[in-house]
Amino acid sequence: MNAIEIKNLTKVFPGGKRAIDDVTLTIKEGEFFALLGPNGAGKTTTINVLTGLVPKTEGEVLVFGESISKNHTYIKSLIGIVPQEFNFGIFETLIDIVVTQAGFYGVKRKDALIRAEEVLKKLSLWEKRNDQARTLSGGMKRRLMIARALMHDPKILILDEPTAGVDVELRRDMWVFLEELNKKGVTILLTTHYLEEAEQLCKNMAVIQLGKVIAEGAIKELVSGQETQLFVVDIIGTISDDNLKALEIFLPKKVDDNTFEILISTAHSLTDFFDICKVSGIRPMSIRPKSNRLEEFFITLTQK
């Protein structure tokens, strides 16, 4: 079953700004779906239409087969939202924030307190439950937003840049948590600027630019169409002009005396590169992708 079906969705703001232009998307139940796009592409507006914060201008949005135009109150009960910006009362305690949110979804206080303990413990926030939200670190505030969104046990979780400004360790912990959640059957829609995050977590994605979907499908298939990938090579010794000439089929670009970049295309493999190195007396010490394939796909696509 499709969890979310967006058909020809258009949103024109007063003043004429067309934030979403004829967007069509399908997200299946249980999927971990990435919605990518540069700043101002229309990702947050799409999410805001889904959650009822912004009324649509045209088109249709179905959630588990129900239209948001006809039954938005019911649909809202199926969705948990983690917005981009912190939007809780900073003077409220953590326990009040999450229990209040549950109340807005019709969860009685007695049940909400039990659920709050479960969710806050899972997100390592239980010890802080009686602290005001303003005293939390940035990472804790992000986790609080996730905890709050999970209080009513939603079938769909929408995460709008959930790991923005979060350190690497915490980001990876959050990935594990979200993967577990997805395995339990929660459909997850993720927007992120960290393409590595999308590649790690999601199977399918859509890229949106200037309000239009410009690519959609399985991440593996989309990035496999990439014809080139940029690598950074560190070598033992100093790079000479002769070295660069020997490697010219890889369009080498010197970074410093010991480092250069090469472009591996579908016509030449890394084995070819190492063969040439061996013949030319170049001794690679390390080689790493400059960016991941999804990142290159994204840049190629959005710069067209």
Instruction: Return residues touching another protein (CB under 8 A).
Output: 48, 51-55, 73-74, 76-77, 79, 81, 83, 85, 87-92, 96, 100-101, 103-109, 148
- Rounded least distance, CB 147 to another protein, Å: 13
**Which residue, 54 or 232, is less far from another protein as judged by CB?**
54
The residue among 75 and 174 lying less far from another protein, judged by its C-beta, is 75
Give whichever of 88 and 273 is closer to another protein, judged by the CB atom: 88
Closer of 107 and 207 to another protein (Cβ):
107
* Cβ 18 vs Cβ 211: under 8 Å: yes
Helices (H), 166-251: 168-183, 195-201, 219-224, 241-246
Q: Min. distance of Cβ 51 from another protein in angstroms?
A: 5
Neighbours of 48 (CB within 10 A): 20
**Cα–Cα distance between 195 and 173 in angstroms, integer?**
17
Report in angstroms how near the CB of residue 112 gets to another protein at its nearest.
9
Q: How far is the CB of 156 from another protein (least distance, A)?
A: 12
CB of 96 to another protein, least distance (A): 7
For tokens 């929660």, the residue is 186
Q: Which is nearer to another protein, 79 or 219 (CB)?
A: 79
Smallest gap from Cβ 164 to another protein, in A, equals 16
For residue 66, give the nearest of 80, 79, 53, 47 by alpha carbon.
79
Walk across the sheet containing 156-160 and list its strands. 79-82, 156-160, 187-191, 32-36, 204-209, 212-218
What are the start-end ranges of the E strands in the chain?
2-12, 18-28, 32-36, 58-63, 66-67, 79-82, 156-160, 187-191, 204-209, 212-218, 228-236, 253-256, 259-265, 283-289
| Between 91 and 241, CB nearer to another protein | 91
Q: Which residue has the tokens 């802080």?
A: 128
